[in-house]
Structure 1
Amino acid sequence: MKFMLIVKANEESEAGAMPTEQELAEMGKFNEELVNAGVMLDGNGLLESSKGVRVQFSGKGQTTVVDGPFAETKELIAGYWIIDVKSKDEAIEWARRVPFEEGEIEIRKVAEAEDFGDNFTPELREAEDKLRERVTGQQS
């Protein structure tokens, strides 16, 4: 099962404060543990929302682009990991090991084919599988 560990933003991350050398070293060690355990698929930090935009949808083909920064810091994301583990409990155990003194990590299961039920027809699954193969090929 794939899970996303979502690092919630805080006032420091939204102010553009970069981690200290020690914090980066601790995070590197944690990332190495994830890789050595064979569970890490991806992970990155995100820059503050003032460097981002939101694309809002209001009807078919109608979009509006809104420049950051965005107000509700507690609802923003400062980084993430995507891990592949056996259970939600294992994802929780990995999240508990993140070398943070303060903050919050939200854990969300990544949707898989069976989660979509009958609407995800064999034809749609096949098309999705082909796209994923192309993406993997582009990353190589």
Structure 2
Amino acid sequence: MLHQEIVAKGYGGHYQRVKMAIAPLRRGLPIDTPRERPPSPRQVARWISTTPPRRGLHPTEALRRLLEHCPELDQTHTLVRQFAAMLDARDAAPLPDWLDQLVASGLSSLASPANAIREDRLAVVQGITTPFNSGVNEGRITDLKL
């Protein structure tokens, strides 16, 4: 009955959806408030890697709530922002201490990149300190490979 009434007013959804929506009301329970969809790992990575002033209000608030509930992610966020500060300032002096922090963090997913960076430290320092990059060349090489 209700489904027919709202279909007449333009609702295009299925009967079962309406039935599920009003089921709590029939049992005398309150209707649940809509829950926010959890962010995808890709969204969280984007929020962490984006400079805070360039993030929108919603992503900033969502990231803050997420970091409050996940200390490992909060630690990762701090380390990523420290590396970003090195890139922005083109200062590789903090790199050895930062690599030690990666290893000391206890997060195995960060220890492996720390070891790889240590092995190629001179190239990483060069990449941090110079304004030059090989992005255009890398893009063309990728195009050729494809």
Q: Same fold (TM over 0.5)?
A: no
TM-score (norm 1): 0.25
Larger Rg over CA atoms: 2
Report 1 or 2 for greater relative contact order, CA contacts < 8 Å, sequence distance ≥ 6.
Answer: 1
Per residue, is there more strand in 1 or in 2?
A: 1
